[in-house]
Amino acid sequence: MGKTVTIVRNVMEANERRAGKLKEYFDGGKILCLNLMSSPGAGKTSLLERTLTDLKGEFKMAVIEGDLQTDNDARRVAATGAQAVQVNTEGGCHLDSSMIEDAIAVLDMKDLDILFIENVGNLVCPAEFNLGEDHKVSLLSVTEGDDKPEKYPLMFHLSSVMLLNKTDLLPYVDFSLDAASAHAKKLNKDIEIFPVACRTNEGLNAWYDWLRKARASKL
């Protein structure tokens, strides 16, 4: 048992060291780095497609796409004109800082304003691994239970923002925006919450305004 604890501690400590160096790198380049986390199918890629398309006249942006297999999401993101690099974890349930180091080595980071990291779809492990990001951003789709923040607290406790996605489906699902927001606020009183719908553009301007402020804070 002692050996197992030691191994786990060493893995986490090594990740933290790399993450610290990544944070220094992003700060030195005045790059806003965001770690997007959610369960599979919550809409991270759709949100990125809209964000990259709508803000491409304002910012130079790039995306690191994390998935178990395929480059489907990276191809969708690249179609917006943004840089994209795919990281396949081959079964791993999260990205770690060494994967981010490898990914930025193949991106053109010169004059980059915002780097989005789309983590592997998972409500548990991605929150445990620091990637050197400025903010964690969690997405919760209204097609999921509104008690998800209560059931998976770490992700929402650590997130600066929670996007309540696919609100255009609210008439057809049993989901309470108030309940989900209350659960998240109980975990993190400072979390900012934006109801959004990528298909109808609902709430996206509030999300974009937050991005502008977060980016300005890096200058």
178 vs 53: CA distance, rounded Å: 30
pLDDT in tens, the chain (219 residues): 455 555 556 778 899 999 999 999 999 999 999 999 999 999 999 999 999 999 999 999 999 999 888 888 889 999 999 999 999 987 789 999 999 999 999 999 999 999 999 999 999 999 999 999 999 999 999 999 999 999 999 999 999 999 999 999 999 999 999 999 999 999 999 999 999 999 999 999 999 999 999 999 999
8-state DSSP, 172? G
Tokens standing for residue 216: 């300005």
Q: Which is nearest to 99 in space by CA: 118, 82, 114?
A: 118
Q: Give, as one character, the DSSP assignment of residue 50.
A: H
Q: In this structure, how many other beta carbons lie within 10 angstroms of the beta carbon of residue 173?
A: 13
* DSSP H or E run through 182: helix 177-187
